[in-house]
Amino acid sequence: MRKSKKERQNLLKETILETPFITDEELAEKFQVSIQTIRLDRLELSIPELRERIKNVAEKKLDDEVKSLHIEEVIGEIIDLQLDESAISILEIKKEHVFSRNQIARGHHIFAQANSLAVAVIDDELALTAKANIRFTRQVKENERVVAKAKVLKKEVEKGRTLVEVNSFVGSELVFSGEFDMYRSNLIQGRDS
């Protein structure tokens, strides 16, 4: 049974508040209406499109938080960051990321998203990848959205290293996993003081 416009718009607001990175296509499917109807509802409710919502969250939270590189050097959009704990980024796979003959994403883009997120999560002015153990678990296609989630597993003060795990998903499906052994300067400097 279809909902009235008012009910749908109230549910739309709630849904976007709970999951701000949901696409118009996913919303249209959820509410069993056209994408155009969702866009008109968003317009009436003054809810920005997905790209704008991602940008707003990233700008509010991250301008001064990322220490190890400039925010514009991160591959993908960081949407959550807890320094030395966890981070999340989103990468929309577009035409420039894929092979032209089969529309499969080039692996270095998926790796770069994960690696730059592993660098960004480090609470230090200098963070470099010392070693990485990675695995691609499925191909990523054009127009898919890759959500990378980084988690700091351990800090080894005596070695000046931090181990960061990054898992990347399309929807709920794992497409990439990696462990990044990160060199960081302040752990060594902190040990000597």
Using DSSP, how many helices (H) and how many strands (E) does the chain show?
6, 6
Q: Which residue has the tokens 């883009």?
A: 109
Partner residues linked to 179 by β-bridges: 133, 165
In 3D, which of 168, 157, 78 has the Cα closest to residue 124?
A: 157
Looking at residues 154-172, what average pLDDT do you find? 89
Tokens of 155: 């800090």
H-helix or E-strand containing 5? helix 5-18
Q: How confident is the model at residue 193 (pLDDT cuts 50, 70, 90)?
A: very low
**Hey, what CATH topology would domain 5-47 get?**
Arc Repressor Mutant, subunit A (1.10.10)
Rounded to two decimals, what is the model's pTM?
0.68
Which residue intervals of 35-159 are DSSP H helices? 35-44, 50-62, 107-120
Rounded Cα distance, 136 and 134, in Å: 7
Question: Which residue bears the tokens 């409710």?
Answer: 45
More confident residue, 11 or 187: 11
Q: Dump the DSSP string for 137-165.
A: -S--BTT-EEEEEEEEEEEEGGGTEEEEE
Q: What is the CATH number of domain 65-192?
A: 3.10.129.10
Domain positions in the chain: 5-47, 65-192
pLDDT digits (tens, 9 = 90+) for 19-32: 777 888 889 999 99
Nearest to 89 by CA among 65, 58, 124, 68: 58
Exposed, middle or buried, 122 (CB in 10 Å: 0-12/13-18/19+)? buried
Q: For residue 164, what pLDDT is reported?
A: 97
Residue 190: band (very low, low, confident or very high) from pLDDT cuts 50, 70, 90: very low
Chain mean pLDDT for the chain: 86
Q: For position 158, what pLDDT does the model report?
A: 72
Could you read off the pLDDT of 94-151 as tens digits, one per residue?
999 999 999 999 999 999 999 999 999 988 888 899 999 999 999 999 999 999 999 9
